[in-house]
Structure 1
C-alpha cells in the first residue's frame, strides 16, 4: 500500500527506549531508529552499534520512549464526539441532513470538517485510520491528497457510505440503501469505484438512531445481501466490517463472510468457532472491534448528559452488556480483538483512541501490554496494513510516537505524545482541542 510519495528530510531518533508493541510488552533500551528520505525505517538497533548516515537530522531521545503509532480501526469523521442531537437522529432528521450534506456547499463543509477531525486523530498519535461510515467520499479525497504529498496526514482506509437497507442503521445520511443482493453489490461497487479501500455493512439496527424498542441489534440485512457485498469486496482484496449488535446479527454477518465485527455481542461456541475459522472471510478468520468507548458511556453516564431518548437508553442496556461480555469472551478464546473507538459518537472524541486500550484493561480482561499490542500490531493486521505499519521494523513506514513513558506502564502517556511521525513526516509539538467537560466525566466514570 503506497503512502506519501514526496521525499522528506531523513532523520534518526537516538538513545530511546523502544516500546515494541509486542504482546509481552518487550522493550529495547538505548536504541536508535533511522528513517530514510522515503519515510521508511532503515535501521532499528542499539545506539552503540547503529551508524547514522551523514546528513541525517539527529533527535536525542534520552529518557524518552518511542512506540508505534496508534491505529484506530473504527472512525467516523462527521462529528467531534459531542452529545447527540435527538432530532437529528430520526429518519426525517437524517434526510434533512443528507440533503444539505450532499449539496455543493455541504460537500465542501463536510470535507473541511472531516479534514479537521482527521488531523485531530493524527495530532493525538493515531497514524492509521479506517473509516467505517462516511457521508460521501470526502475521506477518499483526503487520502489521495496525503498520498500525493500535498499534505501530511495519517494513513487512511476510507469506506465511503455504509451499506444498509432503506432507513436502516445510518441511513440515509451515512449509507447507501439496497433491498436485493444485486443492489447491495452495485452499492459496494460504487464505493470501490469512488476510491473506498474498506467497506462497512449495517447488519443490525443501532442504538443512537433507534426509534422503537428492540431496534438496536435487530437484524436488518440478509445473509444473501451481505454475501454479495463480501464477494465484491474480497474480489478487490478489501476487508469488510459489519455493525452487528446481537447474536443473530453477528451470526449472519459471519456466515456472509464479514471480516470484522464492530461492537459485537455475547458469544457462544458456535460464534467463537466462526470467528476463528471463517471460510468465507478474506483471510479465513474474522476479528472483533468491540468499541467499548462508544458503548460504556451509555452505561456510566446520565441520560441528560448523553442527550439520548428513553428508547435509545433502553435499547442500549443489552447491547452494552453484550459488547463487554463479548470482549472478555473473545479475549479468552484467542479471537483477534482490535482497537476502534467509533469516533464521533456521543462522548467518543477524535483524540481519545488511547482510552479504548484503557477500557480493554479495565473491562475486557486485557493486560496493558496486550491492550497496546491490540492498538498497534493487532489492529494493523485486522485492517490489512501489517505489511507496512503497526510495528517498528526495518522496511516499514516510520509511523511512530515519542512519549514520556512506556505505554505498557501507563497507557495514559499516549494521551500526550511529544512527537508524532506519519510515514516519516514529523508533526512537531502535536496539539489537539480538548473538551474538558467530556474528559472529566469519562475520567470520573471509569476510575
Structure 2
C-alpha cells in the first residue's frame, strides 16, 4: 500500500459521481497527502483534462491509460458482526443464543468478534467500499473498530456506526439491541447510545426474517408509533438521524409517522407513505429516504434450507417479503423518492465484498442505467449520510476515496466486482485482494452461480 506521497492519476477516464458533469476523458486527478501525527489523510486536488492541469513536480505520476475511475462506493446498510457465511445460529433457541451473548461479553468472544469486524471492513475496502454505515452491532464493538481506524491502527473504510439497535421485548434483532417497551425506555436507550458516541440511531420497527419463528412474523409491526416518535425526538435533539428496519406497508407508514429519516428494506407503499417520504415534518431534514437492500431477500430466495442453514419458516418469510420490497423500490423510483444503496451485509450469502450485486439488482429491477445506480451509491448516499462535504464525489478538497477499473463500469456493472486499485483518504491499494468465503464460493461453483 502506497501512502504519504502526492500523486497524479493520469490518462484515465473519470466519472466524478455528479450527474451534471460529463465524463472527463484523458483526465488527471491530483491527490495531496497530509500527515497528521502519523495518520495519512489525502484529499483531491485539481481534476480535469490532462492538457489543462499542471502537475506539480512533487507529485508522482501514476499512468492509468485505458483505466476508469469512479468515487469510492458507500454501503449505507451493513452489519460488521457477520460476514454472510451460512451458519446454524439462525436455528438456535433463545437459551443457546443467550449463552453465545454471554461468551461475546468475555475477552475471548470480544477478541473473536473484533477480529471478524476488522476482517470484514478490510474486505469491503478491497472491494472498493470506502464508507460503511453499520446499523446494529453488539456491545459497541463497532465504535471501537471505527475509532481504531480513526487513530490509524489500521487502514480501513470510513465507518458510521449505530451501536446497539432498539427493539421491543421478543422483537427482531434482540441479540444486538436495547429492549424498550415504552416511550421513556426508547429515550433512555437513545441517550445511552448518544453517550457512547454513535453516529446514527437504529430502530427495529417490525419483525424480520433471520430470527422469525412463524410465517408472517417478518414485517409484522412491533414498535408503536409513540415509541418510534420518542426515539426519533431524542435522536434529533442530539442531531442524529434515525434508521428504521420496516418490512411491511403498515410498518413503513408507522415508522414514517414517528419521524424516522431512513426506511431500511421497505415494502409496498400506500399514498400516505409516499407523501410522508417527500414531506415528513417529524424527520430531521423534513423528508425521509428508502434504502431497499434487495440483496438480502434475493440471496436467501436463491438457495435451499440446507445451504442457507435456515429454517423453512425463515426462508418462506423471505419469499413473502421479496416482491413487496421490490415493489416498494419501484414505487420510490417512479415517485422520485430519495433512494440510497445498502446490502444488509451479514445476512446469509450477503457478503461485505459483493456490494456490486446490489447495484446490479437495482439496475435490473428498476430499469435504470449503470451511471445512475453508481451515482446513488456514491454522491446520493453521501448526502443521505450527511457526509457529502467529505466524500461521495471526486472533487477538489474532498477525501481521496476512489476506485480504478480496467473496464468501464458505466457500461457494465459487473465490472465493479474487479477493482484494479482502491484509494481511501489518499492511501493507495494496488491490485486489491478480496478474501472470499470459501464455503460460499464452493456452493456457488456447484450451483453454477
Q: What TM-score does the superposition give when structure 1 sets the normalisation length? A: 0.94
Would you say 1:79 and 2:82 are equivalent positions?
A: yes
RMSD: 2.0
Deviation at 1:178, TM superposition (A): 1.1
Q: 1:68 to 1:134 in 2, by over 3 A?
A: same
Q: 1:105 to 1:88 in 2, by over 3 A?
A: farther
Indicate conservation of the 8 Å contact 2:268/2:325, yes or no: yes
Corresponding residue number in structure 2 for 1:4? none
Corresponding residue number in structure 2 for 1:46? 49
Deviation at 1:88, TM superposition (A): 4.9
CA offset digits 1:285-315 (Å, max 9, x no partner): 1111111110112333223322221211222
Corresponding residue number in structure 2 for 1:37? 33
Deviation at 1:8, TM superposition (A): 2.6
Q: Which stretch shifts more, 77-86 or 252-261?
A: 77-86
Aligned pairs for 1:399-418 within 5 A: 399-418=401-420
Corresponding residue number in structure 2 for 1:55? 58
Aligned pairs for 1:384-395 within 5 A: 384-395=386-397
Corresponding residue number in structure 2 for 1:179? 181
Indicate conservation of the 8 Å contact 1:80/1:350, yes or no: yes
Q: Which stretch shifts more, 213-222 or 63-72?
A: 213-222
> Which whole-Å CA distance do the structure 2 matches of 1:86 and 1:327 have between them?
30
Would you say 1:104 and 2:107 are equivalent positions?
A: yes
Aligned equivalent of 1:258, options 257, 260, 268 = 260
* 3-state SS of 1:136 partner: helix
Aligned pairs for 1:109-124 within 5 A: 109-124=112-127
* 3-state SS of 2:148 partner: helix
Corresponding residue number in structure 2 for 1:322? 324
Indicate conservation of the 8 Å contact 2:405/2:421, yes or no: yes
Deviation at 1:445, TM superposition (A): 8.9
* Stretches of structure 1 lacking an aligned partner (at least 5 in a row): 1-6
Corresponding residue number in structure 1 for 2:141? 138
Corresponding residue number in structure 2 for 1:13? 9
* 3-state SS of 2:214 partner: coil
Q: What TM-score does the superposition give when structure 2 sets the normalisation length? A: 0.93
Aligned equivalent of 2:358, options 356, 360, 368 = 356
* 3-state SS of 2:77 partner: strand
Indicate conservation of the 8 Å contact 1:24/1:370, yes or no: no
Deviation at 1:89, TM superposition (A): 5.1
Q: 1:442 to 1:255 in 2, by over 3 A?
A: farther
Indicate conservation of the 8 Å contact 2:91/2:310, yes or no: no
Deviation at 1:437, TM superposition (A): 6.1
> Which whole-Å CA distance do the structure 2 matches of 1:400 and 1:68 have between them?
4
Number of aligned pairs?
440
> Which whole-Å CA distance do the structure 2 matches of 1:226 and 1:307 have between them?
33
Would you say 1:201 and 2:203 are equivalent positions?
A: yes
Aligned equivalent of 1:277, options 279, 288, 302 = 279
> Which whole-Å CA distance do the structure 1 matches of 2:431 and 2:440 have between them?
23
Q: Which stretch shifts more, 364-373 or 11-20?
A: 364-373
Corresponding residue number in structure 1 for 2:39? none
Aligned equivalent of 1:294, options 293, 296, 300 = 296
Indicate conservation of the 8 Å contact 1:88/1:97, yes or no: no
Aligned equivalent of 1:333, options 325, 332, 335 = 335
> Which whole-Å CA distance do the structure 1 matches of 2:279 and 2:255 have between them?
14
